[in-house]
Structure 1
Amino acid sequence: MIKLENVSKKFRYNEILDHVNCEFDDGSIYLIRGKNGTGKTVLLKLLCGLSKPTEGKVTFYDQDHKAYKPYIGTIIETPIFWKDMTGMECLSFLASIRKIIDKETILDSLKRVGLYDAKDMSTRKYSLGMRQRLAIAQAVMENPDVLLFDEPTNSLDDDGVDIFRKIVLEEKEKGKTIVIVSHNIEDLQDLADYTLLLKNRNLVEA
């Protein structure tokens, strides 16, 4: 379970979030929507530990970010990869940080997103949609307990959206906690167990 307790976030005099209280349970998909500038990406950064609350706390199974961050898979904002590396090389480099998965697991992740045949192609030659697929592969490849997706269907064609939907449902069946921020709610609305609206600096049920 992820829990936000009285979480507020300010940047100088600009208050983005104001005493947010929310719980995200295992085995559930949460879709968060809201207008541009309401703080959706800020919220995800707080959840994955890239940013700290001005007030309040975020915990994972009663552990703080420092203890739990390695178990989170994320896509935050526009994915960027090393242009002189192949898709396989990019994922292998990222996997070398924790050293918990092997080459076959990386290849399986590439197959899941439909990039196996492009694994030896430089990411410089990848389209925006292919880079988005690669980002999805890196998010899920280490089998994290929590998945946080920021506009995951951006630049994806219809096949890519279908692939993402399939992966999300597969991960849910494994008991993962999945939080998706998206303005393309028509692509994902039917996947959500819970839909939340970020409005007036707080999260409410939509």
Structure 2
Amino acid sequence: METVLSITNLTKNFGRLKAVNNLNLQIKRGQVFGMLGPNGSGKTTTLGMLMGVVNPTSGDFSWFNERPTNDVRKKIGAVLEHPIFYPYLSGLKNLELNAMVKQCDPSNIARVLELVELSERKDDKYKTYSLGMKQRLAIASALLNNPTVLILDEPTNGLDPMGIAEIRELIKRIADDGKTIILASHLLDEVQKVCTHFAVLKKGNLVHTGPVDDVGKGEEIVEVIADVQNLNEYLLAFMGTTSVNRENGSFQITMREGFKSKDLNKYLFEKGIIASHLVTKKKSLEKQFLEILSEA
């Protein structure tokens, strides 16, 4: 798979503060790559360096195996901060101005408005748009030059649940169109729902990177409820049990490698126990994220 972005020992110091420290990453074509980390972890500084807004202290990076020249940056669309639009102009007029500044083909405007689902509101003034609509217009502006890569910094920040859902579905549509997306976010659940890969930064250091699908792999945890006395003893006696914990009226069983929930269910059935609730629990990205930070 083609490497879209290669980062080598990228570092940024602000005086004695090391905002980004020897960052090494590779992002492949077609990935939706999430950059996670608490405030001050270096996510926004990293994106700023990648877009030429912030000068690196040391290290290097390349887009499409090329130096980050102006021609290369034309392949990249970005929403790094709150975009500046004219409040008394319509969404359409604002995009026409942006297309003129970016020297983009104005015929792209109708396409991006349709993509972000603003075609019906294109003639309304920008000041009448909701926060979610303003964010979608910003993404439309970033897509005017039909970039290969789209960079989004906290794309759902400040949005209500409906706005978050709209941006999430928009990101999926853009990814389905074959674009590579790099986004920074603190909303772990949203990253788990839209990203294919993620990296975790802590105080400027990369502490983890990998596929989102790997979250929850490893030991399987099964939640069990059954109306039977001494259920705890039966669960401990199962040969596939590593540990048993009582939590909110149910038992949480950590399984040994190679054992699954169906094995536990069969064991209980053979003991004459019918579980009213037996569910495999997948570790959330949030739980893994907190574990990674605590270990770093």
By the TM > 0.5 criterion, same fold?
A: yes
Q: Residue 102 of structure 1 is aligned with which of 100, 106, 111?
A: 106
Deviations 1:63-121 (A, max 9, x none): 22224111111111223312232211111111113433234x31232222222222122
Counterpart position of 1:75: 79
1:175–1:112 Cα change, 3 Å: closer
* Structure possessing the higher radius of gyration over alpha carbons: 2
Q: Which amino acid aligns with 2:109?
A: I
Q: In structure 2, what is the Cα distance between the partners aligned to 1:23 and 1:201?
A: 17
2:9 counterpart (6, 10, 30): 6
CA change 1:161–1:142 in 2 (3 A) is farther
Structure 1 distance, partners of 2:47, 2:87, is 26
Q: Which amino acid aligns with 2:9?
A: N
Match of 2:136 in 1: 133
Q: Which residue of 2 aligns with 1:33?
A: 36
Which runs of 5 or more residues in structure 1 are unaligned? Answer: none
Letter in 1 for 2:80: I
Correspondence for 2:96 among 92, 109, 128:
92
Q: Tell me if the contact between 1:132 and 1:154 (Cα under 8 Å) persists in the aligned partners.
A: no
Bigger shift: 14-23 or 154-163?
Answer: 154-163
- TM-score calculated relative to the size of structure 1: 0.90
Secondary structure of the corresponding residue to residue 65 of structure 1? coil
Structure with more relative contact order (C-alpha pairs < 8 Å, separation 6 or more): 1
1:173 CA displacement: 3.2
Contact persistence 2:41–2:205 (CA under 8 A): no
**Over aligned residues, Cα RMSD in angstroms?**
1.9
Give aligned pairs, total: 205
Name whichever of 159-168 and 74-83 sits farther off: 159-168
Select between 60-69 and 38-47 the one with higher mean Cα deviation: 60-69
Give the TM-score of the pair, scaled to structure 2.
0.64
Q: Distance in 2 between matches of 1:114 and 1:167?
A: 9
When residues 33 and 60 of structure 1 are mapped into structure 2, their CA distance, relative to the original with a 3 A threshold, is: same
Query: What CA distance in whole angstroms lies between the structure 2 residues aligned with 1:153 and 1:25?
Result: 24
User: More deviation in 181-190 or 153-162?
Assistant: 153-162
- Contact preservation (8 Å) 1:113, 1:160: no
Counterpart CA distance in 2 for 1:112 and 1:158 is: 20
Query: How far does the alpha carbon of each residue in 1:30-86 deviate from its partner, in whole angstroms, 9 at most, with x for none?
Result: 111111121211111112221221101121122222241111111112233122322
Match of 2:45 in 1: 42
Secondary structure in 2 aligned to 1:170? helix
Identity across aligned pairs (percent)?
33
Q: Deviations over 1:7-27 (max 9, x none)?
A: 000112221011111111101
1:16 equivalent in alignment to 2:19:
yes
Distance in 1 (CA, whole Å) between partners of 2:162 and 2:116 is: 10
Structure 2 contact 36–200 (Cα < 8 Å) conserved? yes
Q: Distance in 2 between matches of 1:120 and 1:170?
A: 24
